[in-house]
Amino acid sequence: MSNDTLPTADNLGILSGNRAISDFVGTTDPIDIFRFTLAENANVGFTLRGLSETIEVALVADRNSNGVIDNGEQLDRETAGSNGDSFSEALPAGTYFVVVDTFFNNRSTQYELNLNAVSRPGNVNPDPGNILRNALNLGAISTSGTRTLRDYVGVLDGSDIYRFTLTENSDVGFTLRGLSETIEVALVADQNNNGVIDRGETLESETAGASGGSFSEALPAGTYFVVVDTFFNNRSTLYELDLNAVVRPGNVDPDPGNILRNALNLGAISTSGTRTLRDYVGVLDSSDIYRFTLTEDSDVGFTLRGLSETISVSLVADQNNNGVIDRGETLESETAGASGDSFSEALSAGTYFVVVDTFFNNRSTQYELALSSTPNLDGDNVLRGTPGRDIIRGLGGNDVLFGLGGNDRLLGGDGNDRLVGGGGNDRLVGGTGFDTLLGGAGNDVMVGGNDNDRLLGAGGRDVLRGNQGNDILNAGGDNDRVFGGDGNDRLNGQAGNDNLRGGAGRDVLKGGPGNDTLNGGLGNDLLIAGPGADRIITILEARAFDRVRDFTPGQDKIVLGGGLSVNQIRVQRQGRNTRVLFGGETFLLLQGVNPGQLSASDFI
């Protein structure tokens, strides 16, 4: 009974490997206490067997060395019966006690207690503090390798805080392993240097369990803290934390402002090469704004790469010089992710701004933004885009514009232009002059503009608008929408289920294969149904006289507009054709159709 207090505990010495104890507790000796020492951090297992009665086993750390088990000094407590039991505890180097106690005062039992220590040496000295001011300073994190920290957090030491410095912008990786319990790791920037983790200063917080975990964060040069915390207050674990920095040096100094008035002035963008900007946007600096000047009309290319998160890039012209991005002053806005992106813009001489923004408020990334410029002379130009999203302006002259890949905007401007969209969902606007627009693959929108234009949709579900002039519009394959606009236009639906509207003027609408809808609009038009179940739309208010060719009764339909019903019309033979009349006035002529072939079901 001499080992029933902490001062009189049986001293097992330094515990390394397995240690087996066989003894008795009961009515004559209710408590056995054993003392052991760990020279290094270790995971210690406790196994009980050989019991005939229930006992209790407690693991104790006499933290104040007063020889008494005070509140908070019992690290774990388990009961075990005839089936035995086992448990384990992660412990830092130090001295501990195992207390074996009877569960029922009037019961006795033999027992076998096996202690097994698996050493997990720490490499952190001195012990990291648990507030920012006492954090263990790791100094500058270099790119020469990985810094591995091994230590303990748990009941005896609730948190470890490390401080590190980055001399340059870097992508920093954090990897956790060797855990027996769940912990929480936070990345902190003490932005106001008050030694307290204030709201908004936790850049990232992750939990990791037995399977470990990893995360990375893009950071600008500066000082940061890593906080390793227990997730459950009564649990303990040893851990290994790897820190790895990949330097991504910035080349922007001073840091760009985040409003137009404080934008970093790049000066005049030269046409002799590419200007590459490398910097950071994220939780600590949500936007960078650059100002640049063009001394002549130019095509300016923007290329983004080196991203780990999605960002937004906007091109801005502060047209009223009020230092605020007003409605209509954003000329282009694009998003780019890990694969990067590129776009181009045809710009007049003047001053512009590039705004680099985080897309998600809680994400950060390094970035590279390359700006290139080529003169855009007001003449007969051949302008080619990139595989990305481009805006290309022909301005004056007879220009040829190629969008290539991406969702492009091609603006012909003045002159007789040729616009070729290429791949992607493009928007082509001819402008003034006799223009030719070819949409290419993708769902394109084509607008002829003024004068007599030719529009060809090719692949995709396209929208073709002739606008002014006598235009020729060929929809191409797929289901397209074609609008002639003013002038005497020719609309060809070609393949697919197309919707053709002639608009004003004497138009020719040809449906082609597919189930098409033909609406002549204003003027005396010729509508050619073609193969398929087509619909011919009539508009009495237009006071037009339309001719319909290739109409197949029983297959094609005539849609009566203006609230007109089939009971209000009549049909009359005219040679080999059929006139459709309302109130004695002919508004439709079906060529090659006998009135006897028609029925009420042909009109809807």
Phi/psi at 442 (5° precision): 100, 170
Over residues 325-361, the pLDDT tens digits come to 999 999 999 999 999 999 999 888 899 999 999 999 8
- pLDDT above 70 coverage of the chain, percent: 98
Q: Are 189 and 280 in contact (CB under 8 A)?
A: no
Mean pLDDT of the chain, nearest integer: 94
* Span 132-247 CATH architecture: Sandwich (2.60)
The whole-number average pLDDT for the span 134-144 is 89
The CATH code for residues 10-119 is 2.60.120.380
Burial of 489 (0-12, 13-18, 19+ CB in 10 A): buried
Query: Residue 349's pLDDT is what?
Result: 86
CATH 2.150.10.10 range(s) for the chain read 470-604
Over residues 397-420, the pLDDT tens digits come to 899 999 988 999 999 999 999 999
Over residues 37-66, the pLDDT tens digits come to 999 999 999 999 999 999 999 999 999 999
Q: What is the band of 439 on the pLDDT scale with cuts at 50, 70, 90?
A: very high
3-state DSSP assignment of residue 355? strand
The whole-number average pLDDT for the span 165-173 is 96
E strands, 430-555, are 436-438, 445-447, 454-456, 463-465, 472-474, 481-483, 490-492, 499-501, 508-510, 517-519, 526-528, 535-538, 546-549
Is domain 470-604 given the CATH code 2.150.10.10 in the classification?
yes
Q: Is the pLDDT of residue 246 over 70?
A: yes
Q: How do 445-447 and 463-465 pair as beta strands?
A: parallel
One-letter amino acid at 47 equals T
Over residues 532-583, the pLDDT tens digits come to 999 999 876 656 789 999 999 999 999 998 788 999 999 999 999 999 999 8
**CB count in 10 Å sphere of residue 188:** 20
Query: Residue 299's pLDDT is what?
Result: 86
Q: Is the pLDDT of residue 114 over 90?
A: yes
Which residue in this structure is represented by tokens 């616009």?
419
Structure tokens at 392: 């290309």
CATH 2.60.120.380 range(s) for the chain read 10-119, 132-247
